[in-house]
Amino acid sequence: MPTAPRQPITVALLGTPSASAATLYGFFDLLSGTRRDWQLLHGGPDAESPFRPLVVSRDGQPFAAGNGVRITPDAAFADCPHPDIACVTDLMVAPGEDVGAMFDAEVQWLLGAWNAGATLCSSCSGAMLLARTGLLDGEEATSHWAYCDLLARSYPRTRWNADRTLVVAGPDQRLMMAGSGAAWHMLALAIIARFASPEEAMQVARVNLLGGAGDVSAIAYSSLTRGRRADDPVVAQCQVWAASNYRVESPVSQLVTLSGLPVRTFKRRFTQATGMSPLEYVHTLRLEEAKQLLESTELPVEAIAVEVGYQDASFFNRLFRRKVALTPASYRRRFGSLRNQLQQVAGE
């Protein structure tokens, strides 16, 4: 596993006239929004992404991408000699087309980045360039299903897996590949998990509704604790206390005591400041913690209910389903597997 570089982590996204602008800038947006967007939605202090994505090309000059969108690179190869990560997002080239010497400059740049210690990534058909470096010889790999058979003929020393969404291979696991189509989302999340943290990758997934299996309501991805801290200083103090003490019995009574206000006055001010009653607010804190435990542990649902402050597991199940639009067990199946995969990529 490579040592995590100092932040910001430079991610060079390869721009060529065969690139798809949607995938190229999709990577750019997800990496740029890491940490920043979660903080924005939760009213936290401004935060910069740990990543510095750059669109790079051989000469740094504007060009039309494969789907006609005008691309203006951030840098030429010569201006970005040592990225921490180099990624071929995709190539709009027909399966079996002989790319020949068309991308020799890009292949040489990828090899230079590899020799300088970078992690190399490819998404979908971008594996064609990664294969040309020779670095996939003897390794597991993946690409779009329409390309794998042809790649297997051209590069028989590589074990191509059309059914794999994500493959991590090579020395120190410095080769990362995504398979067909929208699997590039998973590669972006894997990069975030490894070089930032699995927790921040899950935050990006939840902000952008990525990685859930099947037809999942957007509510299941949502953060129940979104929103800014109250401007009312008494309520804000109570919010800080509740964040660490939501498990206690009779939390609303303790919040009233902490506030020093009459019960009715406290409840009115709290609701005005947060948009929720004190009890509803405590429920959101408990359920958000329950979601984290469902994702990251194998604790039984009943034990999680107790852990977050509910003695009645049936009530917890009903409340969770009403607020999250999934049962706790369904939530674990859909999002626990994603977190596990991201933790494995991160080496945790």
| Residue 168 backbone zone (phi > 0: left; psi -120 to 50: alpha; other: beta) | beta
Residue bearing the bigger pLDDT, 348 or 5: 348
Half-sphere exposure (CA, 13 Å, Cβ side) for 176?
30
Residue 291 has pLDDT above 70, yes or no: yes
- Same domain, yes or no, for 205 and 239? no
Residue 242 has pLDDT above 80, yes or no: yes
- pLDDT > 90 in the chain, percent: 66
- Same domain, yes or no, for 243 and 292? yes
pLDDT at 223: 62
Amino acid identity of residue 189, one-letter, is L
The residues near 18 (Cβ < 8 Å, ≥ 6 apart) are 65, 66, 91, 92, 93
Q: Any idea how long the chain is?
A: 348
- Same domain, yes or no, for 146 and 205? yes
The sign of the CA dihedral 238, 240, 246, 248 is negative
Range of the domain at 187: 9-209
Q: What is the pLDDT of residues 203-216, one digit of tens each?
A: 999 888 887 555 55
Q: What is the pLDDT of residues 177-187, one digit of tens each?
A: 998 877 899 99
Q: Any idea what the CATH number is for the domain that residue 314 is in?
A: 1.10.10.60
Asked if residue 161 belongs to a domain, the reply is: yes
Amino acid identity of residue 5, one-letter, is P
Q: Which residues pair with 55 in a beta bridge?
A: 13
Cα–Cα distance list, 202 to 11, 76, 158, 222, 269 (Å): 19, 32, 31, 11, 33
- Same domain, yes or no, for 238 and 188? no
Number of domains in the chain: 2
- Same domain, yes or no, for 237 and 205? no
Asked if residue 347 belongs to a domain, the reply is: no
Half-sphere exposure (CA, 13 Å, Cβ side) for 276?
17
Neighbours of 100 (CB within 10 A): 8
Asked if residue 220 belongs to a domain, the reply is: no
Neighbours of 314 (CB within 10 A): 10
- Same domain, yes or no, for 193 and 240? no
- Same domain, yes or no, for 198 and 326? no
Which of 9-18, 90-99, 107-116, 144-153 has the lowest average pLDDT?
A: 90-99
Largest CA distance in the chain: 78
pLDDT at 348: 73
- Same domain, yes or no, for 177 and 277? no
Asked if residue 187 belongs to a domain, the reply is: yes
- Same domain, yes or no, for 76 and 151? yes
Average pLDDT, integer, range 195-203 = 93
Amino acid identity of residue 214, one-letter, is G
Query: Before 8, cis peptide (omega within 30)?
Result: yes
- Same domain, yes or no, for 78 and 183? yes
Q: Any idea what the CATH number is for the domain that residue 32 is in?
A: 3.40.50.880
Q: Which two tokens stand for residue 231?
A: 């401007």
E strands, the chain, are: 9-14, 51-57, 63-64, 70-71, 75-76, 85-88, 119-123, 140-141, 159-160, 166-169, 175-178
Please check whether residue 51 is in contact with residue 196, taking contact to mean a CB–CB distance below 8 angstroms. Answer: yes
Asked if residue 214 belongs to a domain, the reply is: no
- Same domain, yes or no, for 331 and 182? no
- pLDDT > 70 in the chain, percent: 93
Q: Provide φ and ψ at 128, rounded to 5°.
A: -60, -40
Asked if residue 297 belongs to a domain, the reply is: yes
| Average pLDDT taken over every residue of the chain | 89
Q: With the CA atoms of 231, 234, 235 and 240 taken in that order, what torsion angle do they form, in degrees rounded to the nearest 10?
A: 100
Residue bearing the bigger pLDDT, 99 or 153: 153
Q: Which residues pair with 87 in a beta bridge?
A: 13, 121
Q: What is the pLDDT of residues 320-330, one digit of tens each?
A: 999 988 899 99
DSSP state, 150? Answer: H
- Same domain, yes or no, for 281 and 175? no
